[in-house]
């Protein structure tokens, strides 16, 4: 009895996976998924992360400038004494 149920579940699962796979392979479905799901999600993620990206770039730039200033002041101090 248990094997009949598991065989039926396997059959239904295989049919469902085959149906989904054949549907996803269609160009119209791929276009629809890209335009309705993927692109909006990417835009949402970008809009949420944009302030952090700007802050990261500003921080790295500031660290670079401070490092250069420290190096030049070190050279100035070293050659002055």
| Residue 40: per-residue pLDDT | 96
Q: How far apart are CA 21 and CA 12, in angstroms?
A: 14
33, two tokens: 């998924």
pLDDT digits (tens, 9 = 90+) for 10-27: 999 999 999 999 999 999
Residue-by-residue DSSP string for 32-58:
HHIIIIIHHHHHHHHHHHHHHHHHHHH
Decide if 24 contacts 30 (C-beta within 8 A). Answer: yes
| Residue 63: per-residue pLDDT | 98
Q: How far apart are CA 1 and CA 50, in angstroms?
A: 58
> Which residues in the chain come in under a pLDDT of 70?
1-3, 5
Task: Tally the domains of the chain.
Answer: 1
């Amino acid at each position: 009895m248990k094997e009949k149920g598991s065989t039926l579940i396997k059959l239904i699962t295989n049919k469902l996976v085959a149906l989904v796979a054949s549907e996803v392979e269609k160009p119209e479905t791929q276009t629809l998924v890209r335009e309705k799901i993927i692109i909006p999600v990417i835009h949402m993620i970008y809009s949420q992360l944009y302030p952090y990206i700007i802050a990261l770039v500003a921080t790295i730039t500031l660290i670079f400038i401070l490092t250069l200033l420290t190096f030049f002041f070190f050279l100035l101090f070293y050659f002055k004494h």
